[in-house]
Amino acid sequence: MIESTPASNTVGKHDEEVEQIFGATGLLSASIKGYKPRQAQTEMAKAIANAIVGQTTLLAEAGTGTGKTYAYLTPALLWGGKVIVSTGTKNLQDQLFLRDIPTIKKVLNAPVSVALLKGRANYLCHFHLERTLQNGRLSSPQDVGYLRDISRFMKTTSTGDKAELARVPETAPVWNLVTSTRDNCMGAECQYYQDCFVMKARKEAQQADVVVVNHHLFFADVALKDTGVAELLPSANTVIFDEAHQLPDTATLFFGETISTSQILELCRDVQAEGLSHARDGAEWAKIVAPVERATRDLRLTFPQDSVRLSLPQIAASSPFFPALETLKDSFEDMIAVLETQAQRAETLEQCRVRAIALRDQLHDWNDDPPAKNAANKPECVLWVEAFSVSLQLHKTPLSIAPIFNKQREGVPRTWIFTSATMAVKNDFSHYVSQMGLWDEPARTWPSPFDYQNQGLLYVPEGMPQPNSYEYSDAVVDMALPMIEAAGGRTFLLCTTIKAVKHSAERLRDEFQKRKLPFPLFVQGDAGRTELLDRFRAAGNGVLIGSQSFWEGVDVRGEALSLVVIDKLPFSPPDDPVLAARIEAMEKKGLNGFVHHQLPEAIINLKQGAGRLIRDETDRGVLMICDPRLISKPYGKRIWQSLPAFSRTRKAEDVVNFFSGVPASEPDAA
């Protein structure tokens, strides 16, 4: 069991300076309005300073409200050398770059240069914008208007970062036509290479002392060498992962391989367009791509359902999937043969040829890999298929990212800091350590400064049916309704599935209408996450229903959020092919898949959801977990002991009293 280590007695080289900066009369207190010294923040900053100076690794878990951002930025800007800070989301990336780093830089008067680096899809591409303006292949008047906005923006922007153009939604389809991908970027051959925003951002990152990236970018680079981090890493002295609990999932995504029918159809469209533009007389392009398109669509249709997740052994040997896959491979060969004869006629056709060969090789590698070769030099992988309404994806996912990630950490000694509010299960880091391969590295925990006992109440209602029962979602709404009324709206209802989100939204809409309750309802999917949260905060008495994307990285302070309802313990779905393969591999080693993987994963996830409730010293609220397994199962105790130390109750009247300010009866030992 990897426990967090207690505070060390050894005094670090920079401890005194850290005390002076974070203390009651220090630089932060003198410069930042409302700043209050916190012992945990000071201790965390010292530990990070010592790791930076000693070029060692540190796992640092800090409870909500510790102020971990300043705790790692201060030593990083003073002693970190060349620093890469990687965050969980682009929103957090922007917050660090635009707000937190400038604040600390100013307070410390630190002479460091800072750069922001995002994935290429975030930057306007001169070539693709011009091509789209000329071709005018736009399907809606709205996209035409957006394109006009983007064209104007191109003339004034110095960064080309689409986040600066707020009036065009991040999800607008037109962005795909005016940004580049790794496949369709012409690199140094491009006539706009000197002005390229992607290249400019990478150059600035090369020269900066501190570079802010996100986890997707970091691992995409390690896997694909396509984001500019590959050039940064050799010169970096310090790498800091904030929201580090997300790393295992993000790394798994990028160290695996995925090929989708959408990619193949996109290639077919490009082959036809470029063939007709540059080699009209070289081939009958429509006839060349038609068999590939047909074979691609036929492959998707081998699974009639809308959504399917199956590992390769679960697909019946008699399934039409296997012959359809062979047909697709054969038709690819014919298209590549034509591209070989025409590619020299245009750079864009040559690009299509290279893409086609890469996709064909991926198709062949997906299930043709001889096991012996695989075992010798590649991580063990699980092969699985995922079908959506219009596309099919073939995945090859590593069972463990630890050996691959450790390879990245070899070589030049540098500092690696992993920090989050949720990496440990009751101060035990074993699960996270085994996922990331960080054995024998020091791990520390600093508790939240919040008074959870008085600020919050954990309520587990009595009389709930089993979570797998037909009536469960309705029971959640029935139990939550009186609590939502008592809270005056101001509620997050966090569900473990999209289906539950939709069902709960329908029920609450009806109930609010029937009971004439004035609470505005905000439902995931009705608008983007940022817009929904802004509207929720502005309403002051709203009810927001969301699934996974609202469990973390969401900060609503004050009275706008006073009740968080969680429908079920967030265990991964048992039909997940990767989870099933991981459990099987663990059980072969004599470990218990539930105890050593599913339970700690669920606890870390639940800690994130619970963390939405109390965001500062003055917040008060109720965490309502509807799942009866928290009480009835032997593992329930381990779960609630890992949550913040709220008072606990099973009585609805205690919740009503909490909201009306009446002292609670003696809470149940839930």
**Residue 665 pLDDT greater than 70, yes or no:** no
* Per-residue pLDDT tens over the stretch 591-639: 999 999 999 999 999 999 888 898 888 899 999 999 999 999 999 999 9
* CA 303 – CA 483 distance, rounded (Å): 43
Among 256, 131, 146, 246, which Cα is nearest to 184's? Answer: 131
Helices marked H in 25-125 — which ranges?
Answer: 27-31, 39-54, 68-79, 90-95, 101-108
* CA 166 – CA 147 distance, rounded (Å): 13
Q: Are the C-beta atoms of 536 and 544 separated by less than 8 Å?
A: yes
Q: Are the C-beta atoms of 412 and 234 separated by less than 8 Å?
A: yes
In this structure, of 159-163, 169-173, 579-583, the range with the lowest mean pLDDT score is: 169-173
Average pLDDT over residues 59-80: 96
* Number of other residues whose CB lies within 10 A of the CB of residue 268: 22
Q: What is the pLDDT of residue 140?
A: 84
Q: φ and ψ at 384, to 5 degrees?
A: -150, 160
Q: Residue 182: pLDDT band by 50, 70, 90 thresholds?
A: confident
Q: What is the pLDDT of residue 372?
A: 39
In this structure, of 136-140, 351-355, 378-382, 416-420, the range with the lowest mean pLDDT score is: 136-140
Q: What is the pLDDT of residue 556?
A: 85
Helices marked H in 236-320 — which ranges?
Answer: 247-255, 261-278, 285-301
Q: Are strands 392-398 and 257-260 parallel, antiparallel or unpaired?
A: antiparallel
What is the average pLDDT score of the chain? 90
Among 496, 466, 470, 493, which Cα is nearest to 576's? Answer: 496
**Residue 511 pLDDT greater than 60, yes or no:** yes
* CA 186 – CA 198 distance, rounded (Å): 12
* CA 335 – CA 291 distance, rounded (Å): 9
* Per-residue pLDDT tens over the stretch 406-460: 888 887 899 999 999 999 998 899 999 999 999 999 999 999 999 999 999 999 9
Q: Which residue has the higher pLDDT, 137 or 130?
A: 130
For residue 521, what are the β-bridge partners?
543
**Residue 279 pLDDT greater than 80, yes or no:** yes
Q: Are the C-beta atoms of 425 and 41 separated by less than 8 Å?
A: no
* Number of other residues whose CB lies within 10 A of the CB of residue 436: 24
Classified as helix, coil or strand, 650 is coil
For residue 614, what are the β-bridge partners?
none
Among 223, 219, 282, which Cα is nearest to 87's? Answer: 219
* CA 404 – CA 257 distance, rounded (Å): 14
Q: What is the pLDDT of residue 550?
A: 86
The rounded percent of the chain whose pLDDT value lies above 90 is 68
Average pLDDT over residues 172-188: 86
Q: Residue 664: pLDDT band by 50, 70, 90 thresholds?
A: low
455-490 per-residue burial string, b: 16 or more CB within 10 A, e: under 16: bbbbbbbeebeebeeeebbebbbebbbebbbbbbbb
* Number of other residues whose CB lies within 10 A of the CB of residue 306: 9
Average pLDDT over residues 374-385: 73
Q: What is the pLDDT of residue 208?
A: 96
What residues contact 21, with CB distance under 8 A and at least 6 apart? Answer: 27, 28, 45, 74, 108
Q: Are the C-beta atoms of 244 and 418 separated by less than 8 Å?
A: yes
The rounded percent of the chain whose pLDDT value lies above 70 is 93
pTM over 0.95: no
* CA 424 – CA 443 distance, rounded (Å): 9
Task: Show the domains of the chain with their CATH numbers.
Answer: 15-119+199-250+401-446 (3.40.50.300), 255-398 (1.10.275), 452-660 (3.40.50.300)
What tokens does 160 get?
């080309």
Q: Residue 257: pLDDT band by 50, 70, 90 thresholds?
A: confident
Q: What is the pLDDT of residue 670?
A: 43
Q: How many residues does the chain have?
A: 670
* Per-residue pLDDT tens over the stretch 110-132: 999 999 999 888 999 999 999 88
**Residue 376 pLDDT greater than 60, yes or no:** no
**Residue 220 pLDDT greater than 90, yes or no:** no
Q: What is the pLDDT of residue 666?
A: 47
Listing DSSP states for 438-472 in one string gives -TT--EEEE--SS-HHHHEEEE--SS---TTSTTH
**Residue 669 pLDDT greater than 50, yes or no:** no
In this structure, of 24-33, 238-247, 400-409, 493-502, the range with the lowest mean pLDDT score is: 400-409
In this structure, of 49-58, 183-192, 348-357, the range with the lowest mean pLDDT score is: 183-192
**Residue 667 pLDDT greater than 80, yes or no:** no
Average pLDDT over residues 143-169: 92
* CA 607 – CA 597 distance, rounded (Å): 16
Q: What is the pLDDT of residue 662?
A: 62
CA atoms within 13 A on the CB side of 253: 12
* Per-residue pLDDT tens over the stretch 526-568: 887 888 898 999 999 999 999 977 888 778 888 889 999 999 9
